[in-house]
Amino acid sequence: MRVLIVGPLSGELGKAASIVLARGALVDHVESVDQALTRICDQGDHKLVICGIDSSISCLVAGLQRERISIPVLACGPEDPELAALAIANGAEDYIPLPPDPDLIAAFIQNATDESLTVLSSDPVMLSVVAKADRIAASDASVLITGESGTGKEVMARYIHQTSKRAKGPFVALNCAALPETLVESELFGHERGAFSGAAARRIGRFEAADGGTLLLDEISEMDVRLQAKLLRAIQEREIDRLGGSSPVPVNVRLIATSNRDLPSEVSAGRFREDLYFRLNVVSITLPPLRSRALDIAFLAHHFSRNYSEINGLPDRPLSPEALQKLEKHSWRGNVRELENAMHRAVLMAPGKIIDADAFEFSEVPDLQKVISAQEILAPWVGHRMDEVEQALILDTLSHTDGNRTHAASLLGISIRALRNKLRDYAQQGAAIPPPTHGMTASQ
């Protein structure tokens, strides 16, 4: 791993750098925050930043946030509680008193590099999926992981990376649904200084940062079709072009993509390139929903109970038979993620020496009045095409939110990019689109 030291090495900070080296990490050094931001954008593989208290912690953290880079920043300086509190208030993750304690620095290095995980399961359905992942991990083949939200697609991607021959290389992830369309290309391929407004420094993209390792493209179905063509070229040619760059850059990455959508249907609808689908789908893994792996419900519930009890300093308490029965009857639409959140709440809220059924709040029986109301609402749409119903729902929701795209996308349970694409299609068909609000432009 590579650690960046920010500040003069003439004093105690130099001792910290020596300890980092002795612990087997690579040390990179700059004198100032501006140099640090330039080096991080240019290098792309730092796992930890140790910054002297004399440097501006707040400017460093703000700069990293501006560049959408997530790296823990540790401040270090004299053993002074007020200085430590100020550094953490300015965005530092923690504070290292000087002179540095070797064991303390070693712990921070370990935390920054400890990404080991195991796919936990006791159900034969899921164990067969893990066995398939074990078989394909050693290859360099692209992998497409599909499944409902919350089934653990990113966990499986990390597992494949860690059991592959690229395990010592970087694992870099990009959530294609979390960024505006205009930023995804820069995030993927990087940019040169001045390539566009706001590009104040050269920045390598996720492809270069993942060189020698694995690149995860999370929710690949949300990527704009025009950018899919550039991604396809990068996969085929094994090289990328930075925005504003003058020559291609060779890259050596293994691609793993995830999606909770039916990609063949997206291909048929023209929203996903068929050639890219075949490039990514060399090997496919489908993660079963939690309701299809019943033996895992109790198994994972016990695991999450132990884990969150330890994290919160609470005694490990058993789940009552009634609690387990309630968990096993629940539908788990949010899958493993929903179960984990439910167990975290239960650990915190359950009184007494056991976790009983009362610690879980599920609406198991549908409200009959709501069902009748829903049938009355849907009745006028019987006989209409699905795309007509979908368009009406989207436009009515947008009107309900007074044109707020973000709020509407949240209510509809789709990404802002998916909503934007739908609205563009409706506008081209002549539909009246409610104007955006809250300072959003028409293109949003």
User: What beta strand segments (E) does 79-152 contain?
Assistant: 94-98, 143-146
pLDDT of residue 114: 53
Q: Which residues contact 267 (CB under 8 A, 6 or more apart)?
A: 273, 274, 277
pLDDT band at 135 (very low <50, low <70, confident <90, very high): very high
Q: Show the beta-strand stretches assigned E in 260-362.
A: 283-286
Indicate if the pLDDT at residue 194 is higher than 60: yes
Number of neighbours of residue 171 by Cβ within 10 angstroms: 20
CA 27 – CA 46 distance, rounded (Å)? 9
The CA dihedral of 377, 382, 387, 390, to the nearest 10 degrees, is: 10
User: Above 90 in pLDDT, residue 285?
Assistant: yes
> Percent of the chain scored above 70 by pLDDT?
90
Q: Which residue has the tokens 């789940």?
A: 319
Rounded mean pLDDT of the chain? 84
pLDDT of residue 372: 44
Whether 438 has a pLDDT exceeding 80, the answer reads: no
How many Cα atoms are found within 13 Å in the side-chain-facing hemisphere of 44? 23
Cα dihedral: 69, 71, 72, 78 (round 10): -90
Strands 249-250 and 239-240: antiparallel
User: Which residues lie below 8 Å from residue 196, measured CB to CB, with a gap of 6+?
Assistant: 186, 243, 244
CA–CA–CA angle 11, 16, 17 (5° rounding): 95
Output the pTM of the full model: 0.66
Interatomic CA distance for residues 148 and 104, integer angstroms: 40
Domains of the chain: 2-113 (3.40.50.2300), 124-286 (3.40.50.300), 292-359 (1.10.8.60), 368-428 (1.10.10.60)
Answer yes or no: is pLDDT of 93 > 80. Answer: yes
- Tell me the C-alpha distance between 47 and 235, whole Å: 26
